[in-house]
Amino acid sequence: MLKIASLKLDNPLVCAPLAGVTNLPLRLMAKRHGAALVCSEMISSNGLIRYQKKTMELMASKEEERPLSIQIFGSDPGVLADSARIVAEHGADIVDINFGCSVKKVLKGGAGSALMADLPRAEKILKEVRKAISLPFTIKMRSGWDASGDEAMALGRIAQDAGVDAVALHPRTAKQGFSGHSDWSQIKRLKQELTIPVIGNGDVTKPEHVLEMMEQTGCDGVMIGRAVLYAPWIFRQALCLLENRPMEEIDLDDRKKVLFDYLDDTMDYLGEEHGCRVMRSRLAWFVKGLPNAAKFRGEITRIASKEQARDLIEEFFRSIEKRREEAPAASD
């Protein structure tokens, strides 16, 4: 179990915020597969205080996915405090601030990882937001602008002193993006520095990595990001290992259900026309490593209706079953 302030989570597994990806349908998927906490994609604080329609829509939620962490970003302490109030009013269970994004547009505005190079401003932001809300308050950061991790340690101490309730660390530098490898030793170091919960993130691509990270670093929770895009069942498999149970095998029926559920939820969320445009690329995420996946990826780029998408999914899995049935005969 992971406890963040007054919020008690069922297990230590968290679905990471991913810009442009972790919308309501994907969060529902992660939740159904065992994530104790799901996080929104990062939301502009400037957009929130202006109540911009598209920005506000990013907070769309369902009771099924609770508890929900909503992540905001920005560089102005007052604006971030006001946007945190808005997030709280819209039913978030946790308010999170992004200190890790290294996309040029975000950095240019002084937000994300840029704040790790301006710790006085970061401290002011944390104090202003803490005063503005009573909800559990967390931050997500990188190791900083160099590989030493000193900026992350400094920001972690500042956050704890400012009343932040938990810190998530992705131990890559801002310059690395997603290249190279994350340095889990930085997570261990941060855990030794702080008394509030530390959530580790980075290069958790297999269920076994959850145990390895917790054992190597002593972290209180594990945040899983990109692996959710092709193996959302990683949460339930990791839970098996955490509970000393045999790890569940994922069969074709499990995979097919993932595609159907994601399709249905996306169509409900976006509508059929917009949903089809999105599904033309995203359905391909969940067939990684399966036979005929390349053909399927090509076929779904032309879907124009939910019914057509369902037919292509059915046909794809039938082709795999047929291939498996024919395999023994072919080897005789």
Active site residues: 101
Find out whether 108 is annotated in a ligand binding site. Answer: no
Find out whether 52 is annotated in a ligand binding site. Answer: no
Identity of residue 94: I
Find out whether 225 is annotated in a ligand binding site. Answer: yes
Identity of residue 260: F
Long-range contacts (CB closer than 8 Å, 24 or more residues apart) made by 210-214: 210/13, 210/238, 210/241, 210/242, 211/238, 211/241, 211/242, 213/184, 213/187, 214/12
Find out whether 192 is annotated in a ligand binding site. Answer: no
Find out whether 170 is annotated in a ligand binding site. Answer: yes
Alpha carbon 224 to chain centroid, angstroms: 6
CA geometry: angle 94, 99, 103, nearest 5 deg? 120
CA-based end-to-end distance of the chain: 52
Q: Are 15 and 23 in contact (CB under 8 A)?
A: no
Give the contacts of 44 (CB within 8 A, at least 6 positions apart).
55, 72, 73, 74
Q: Specify which residues 33 forms β-bridges with.
A: none
Q: Which residues are annotated as a binding site for FMN?
A: 71, 140, 170, 225-226
